[in-house]
Amino acid sequence: MMVTMISILYYTITITLLQGVVRADNVRLSNLPTIADDLELFATSLSNATLSNKTELSDSILQYLELHGPDYFGSTVTVLSGAEQQALYSPYVYWNSNGTGLIQTDSLMDPSYGINEQSWLREPIDQRKAVWSDPYFDQGGGNVWMMTRSYPIMAGEDGEIVAVATTDVHIDAPDDTSGSLSILVSRASVLLVVMILL
């Protein structure tokens, strides 16, 4: 019960700080919990057969985005190699600029993009949990300012991470005058720890 209350409080503080830093273009920040839940539902519905078939996986991502509409700017499921946890393939599907059609691409696997160094991929692997990214400009992916929800897909008794599913949310460029989101979220964490200790 206490852990749940702490998680809700942390999430509320984080969302409040985000509202001061980022203006959402296509989605309200209050919808971030819904997006997180929808991604988890999608990720956990993917079978091993789907993950091992790139065409079927791409079709599943397309259906996921069609279901939720252009508020969910783009999505990928990055399938990982075994122990190395490097990207094997990562079909990316996203809405066109006017939100009337979906585009499928393999551009995330272009060596110049450096998929295996991208924080939206590394953080859920390293932390072994779903994460929201800080706002960033996705050069070579969606080519817009966005935030990404990343969800690690685990398999087997040992919980090996076999893939990472994402949903991208298109946002306006952060205000330079608002300061760094990472600093604000860190301050929120400190505030939360102080509140717990009191």
pTM of the model: 0.75
Could you say which residues of the chain have pLDDT below 50? Answer: 1-26, 177-198
* Range 89-92 contact pairs with CB under 8 angstroms and sequence separation of 24 or more: 89/54, 89/57, 90/115, 91/54, 91/57, 91/58, 91/61, 92/61, 92/141, 92/142
Among 164, 124, 126, 132, residue whose Cα is nearest residue 149: 132
Range of the domain at 74: 26-173
Per-residue model confidence (pLDDT) at position 138? 78
Q: What are the structure tokens assigned to 185, written together?
A: 């979220």
Judgement on whether residues 126 and 150 belong to the same structural domain of the protein: yes
Same domain as 153, residue 115: yes
CATH number of the CATH domain containing 107: 3.30.450.20
Paired strand residues for 77? 165
Does 89 lie in the same domain as 34?
yes
Q: What pLDDT is stored for residue 40 in this prediction?
A: 97
Query: How confident is the model over 8-65, as pLDDT tens digits?
Result: 444 444 444 444 434 444 456 677 889 999 999 999 999 999 999 999 999 999 999 9
The pLDDT value recorded for residue 193 is: 41
Same domain, 35 and 93: yes
In the chain, how many domains are there? 2
96 and 5, same domain (yes or no): no
Are 35 and 17 part of one and the same domain?
A: no
- Together in a domain, 190 and 99: no
Answer whether 91's CB lies under 8 Å from 76's CB.
yes
Residue-averaged pLDDT of the chain: 79
Q: What is the CA radius of gyration of the chain?
A: 17
Whether residues 121 and 79 fall in one domain: yes
Q: Are residues 4 and 90 in the same domain?
A: no
Same-domain pairing of 68 and 101: yes
The strand pairing partners of 104, in sequence order, are: 93
Same-domain status, 145 and 191: no
Please indicate, yes or no, whether residues 157 and 65 belong to a single structural domain of this protein: yes
